[in-house]
Amino acid sequence: MNTQKTVLFLGANSDVAKQCLIQYAEKGFFVLAASRDLVSLKNFVLEHQLEDQVQVIYFDATNFSSHQNFYKELPAKPHIVIYAAGFLRQNEDVRNNFNDAFQMVKVNYAGAVSVLNIIVNDFSNKNLERIIGLSSLSGVRGRKSNYIYGSTKAAFTTYLTGLRQDLSSRNIVVNVIVSGYINTKINEGLSLNKSLIMKPEYVAKHIVNAGNSFSIVPNWKWKIIYWILKLSPEFLVAKMP
């Protein structure tokens, strides 16, 4: 009998996700790495000699009608599911381009609700023990610089909050990773405070080693910022960028 646990990684082509693949493999997990960009993922798997522990499969977060068959055809029912698919455009761009704004809604929120609902409604999967969603500090409070992107992350976090309550009777843990700036391609070209930028492998470690707490905020500096955002009165938040 195969006792190896399976991780389903939805949106596995980001820099953080790729570091998670390495760390999960080191812990002996079998990983289903799902993404639209199969070439990049397969090259990464080959480069790091992960072929025996990582299987690359196609997944499109925005193709909602495909999600049921996607889950049905998985080679193994997952013990851990991670939703990491993400799409980001700057506020000044998406205010005048609804297509990009809608793409953020579909990838960051609607796609997660679609596929995760299918997964948790499979009561025959007795393996499922944890769901982890990758959110953002941008979703903690609405701010004028990123409220469109932030609203998609806020919706995702709220969904995960209720999902955690709903699944507690089944002993399934739900975590949300609330991260700040990460040195990844999604932030390329942005003017960011270098002292606050985290390495992908550092954030990945917090994902792979998630405990029972709901909100996980990597890095003590970002924990302080998280609580400032949570507790500040509206007039102070309005003065933030």
Identify the band that residue 239 occupies on the pLDDT scale cut at 50, 70 and 90: confident
Q: Name which of 237, 235, 234, 217 is nearest 226 in CA terms.
A: 217
What is the distance between the alpha carbons of residues 119 and 11, in angstroms, rounded to a whole number? 15
- Look at residue 89 in the predicted model and tell me its pLDDT: 86
Predicted confidence band of residue 143 (pLDDT cuts 50, 70, 90): confident
What are residue 179's phi and psi, to 5 degrees? -105, 155
Ordered by where they begin, the domains of the chain are: 6-237 (3.40.50.720)
Spatial separation of the C-alpha atoms in residues 95 and 102, rounded to whole Å: 11
State residue 188's pLDDT score: 56
**141 pLDDT more than 90:** no
Report pLDDT digits (tens) over 169-224: 999 999 999 998 887 665 555 555 666 889 999 999 999 999 999 999 998 899 99
Distance CA 176, CA 162 (A): 12
- pTM for the predicted model, two decimal places: 0.92
Predicted local distance difference test score (pLDDT) of residue 1: 44
pLDDT in tens, 68-96: 999 999 999 999 999 999 888 888 888 88
